[in-house]
Amino acid sequence: MTKMAFMNAINQALDQAMEKDDKVFLMGEDILGGAGVKHLEEKNEDAWGGCFGVTKGLGPKYGKKRVIDTPLSEQSYMGAAVGAAVTGLRPVPELMFSDFIGVSFDSLLTQGSKMRYMFGGKAKLPLTVRTTVGAGASAAAQHSGAYYGIFASIPGIKVVVPSSPYDAKGLLLSSIEEDNIVVFCEDKTLYGVKGEVPEEYYTIPLGKAAVKREGKDLSIVTIGKMVSVALDVADKLSDQGVDVEVIDLRTVAPWDEETVIDSVKKTGRLIVIDEAQPHNNTATDIAATVTDKAFDYLDGPIKRVTAPNTPVPFATNLEQAYIPSADRVIEEAAEIIDDLKNSK
């Protein structure tokens, strides 16, 4: 184990995936950086390694055949990734910000995600789209979206949102091994977060949640950078004598119904925290499913704490208010927390 930043764990996963399988290649904007610049080519250097430096060093190591800088043509290079995947390669394109999916959505929405089904099961789509999500970087309305719920609503696409460096590496290696389309959502505000990461190749299965903290009074189900918010809530409530269980979904499509429902059966109360918008989304899906399948075990309403139904604002104070915080969770879920305390 070494202590490693989230972004370095992703870099290591890409490195090991490329080492293991020569069909794995990367494409995206400035993932090498300075492509075609003479003095950099002579020294075999990459200028950027991606906008956030996540792919730094992979270009010089694997060459321009496997680390391909694209023009600003998201529609076509994402479509090309689908075309390369269905014809036998294992592309790992980077979409710098998930907000740019608007430019390139056809490749996933009507092409890639439906191919296997439309073609009667004959096609395989070993494709992992890496992209960034999340508010909190003052990146404003067009660079801060948490769009994993939109991807997750499409049959034929799996969606991963890792919360720690350890998970990022293991989940990314699993994603790349998959013969399906996976959208791998990296919260840009987590890139610098450090954690223990084994040096060796390892995988974490998709669709399996992690119980981050066991508790018997109240379940909190969440994802990505909201996991630390949930743990914060758990700490605060523990001081008040409430024992919270925190579940990190890790994967929003498919999400781990069994772990969530088992937890609700134990605690009888559920809060879902999600940085995405409040409607037609991961949080609503979880709440609906739990109501459907574990209604008799619930001792109170399910509380969803999400971003408001607005775009992401720029001003720092508004952006901070936009992102669910521990205090806001406790405030918005006061009804079930108070009820729980009273019933003790």
Ligand X SMILES: Cc1ncc(C[n+]2csc(CCOP(=O)(O)OP(=O)(O)O)c2C)c(N)n1
| Stretch of 96-104, 113-121, 170-178, 291-299 lying at the interface with ligand X (CB under 6 A) | 96-104
Binding mask 21-40 for ligand X (x = CB under 6 A): --------x-----------
Picking from 321, 288, 327, the residue whose alpha carbon sits closest to that of residue 304 is 288
3-state secondary structure of 78: helix
Which is nearer to ligand X, 74 or 275 (by Cβ)?
74
Q: Is residue 316 within 8 Å of 138, Cβ to Cβ?
A: yes
Candidate segments 35-43, 95-103, 109-117, 296-304, binder of ligand X by CB under 6 A: 95-103
The single residue of 90, 116, 130, 143 carrying the catalytic annotation is: 143
Question: Pick from 20, 22, 63, 73: which binds another protein (CB under 8 A)?
Answer: 73
Neighbouring-strand partners of residue 245? 219
Q: Residue 237 class from Cβ within 10 Å (0-12 exposed, 13-18 middle, 19+ buried)? A: buried
> Which residues, 139 to 178, sit near another protein by CB under 8 A?
139-143
Contact between 77 and ligand X by CB under 6 A: the answer reads: no
Confirm or reject binding of residue 187 to another protein (CB under 8 A). Answer: no
Chain position whose Cβ is nearest to ligand X: 100
The 3-class SS string of 162-202 reads CCCHHHHHHHHHHHHHCCCEEEEEEEHHHCCCEEEECCCCC
Spatial separation of the C-alpha atoms in residues 272 and 275, rounded to whole Å: 10
User: C-beta of 131: minimal distance to ligand X in Å?
Assistant: 12
User: Cα 47–148–292 angle (5° rounding)?
Assistant: 165
Q: Site mask, another protein, residues 13-52, x = CB under 8 A?
A: ----------------xx--xxxxxxxx----x-xx--x-
Angle of helix 6-20 relative to helix 165-177, nearest 10 degrees, comes to: 30
Least separation, in Å, of the C-beta of 190 and another protein?
18
State yes or no: is 279 an active-site residue: no
Exactly one of 15, 75, 236, 300 binds another protein (CB under 8 A); that residue is 75
Token readout for 216 is: 């018997």
- Enumerate binding residues for ligand X (CB under 6 A): 29, 72, 74, 96, 100, 103
